[in-house]
């Protein structure tokens, strides 16, 4: 595998260099626990029960956020819009 250095010179590197994991918008993925570029399920810094606790908290947060966004969207009406 060839890797470009800071001075834009390509050199061969032994082993595999994994590409950074990106999310929507081209931003780097950050672990919910340590902030490094890997998924929570692959985090080497915590155990499985702690990973489950973090994901349960995140899922609860996402559900509340979707509910709040739906409430805000329902409150918005357009003048002259007919509702049945």
Q: Give residue-wise pLDDT tens across range 8-30.
A: 655 555 656 678 888 888 899 99
pLDDT for res 61: 96
Query: Would the pTM of this model clear 0.85, i.e. be above it?
Result: no
Torsional sign, CA 61, 63, 65, 67: negative
In a domain, 62, yes or no: yes
Q: Is residue 52 part of a domain?
A: yes
Instruction: Establish if 19 belongs to a structural domain.
Output: no
Q: Is residue 28 part of a domain?
A: no
The closest alpha carbon to 55, from 40, 70, 34, belongs to: 40
Number of domains in the chain: 1
pLDDT tens column, 65-83: 999 998 888 777 677 766 6
Q: Give me the domain span that covers residue 65.
A: 41-76
Contacts 24+ apart (CB under 8 A), 37-45: none
């Amino acid at each position: 595998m060839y890797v470009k250095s800071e001075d834009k010179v390509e050199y061969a590197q032994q082993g595999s260099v994994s590409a950074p994991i990106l999310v929507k918008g081209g931003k780097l993925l950050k672990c919910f626990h340590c902030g490094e570029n890997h998924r929570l399920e692959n985090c080497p810094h915590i155990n499985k029960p702690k990973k489950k606790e973090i994901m349960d908290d995140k899922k609860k947060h996402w559900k509340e956020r979707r509910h709040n966004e739906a409430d805000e969207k329902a409150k918005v009406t357009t003048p002259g819009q007919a509702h049945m």
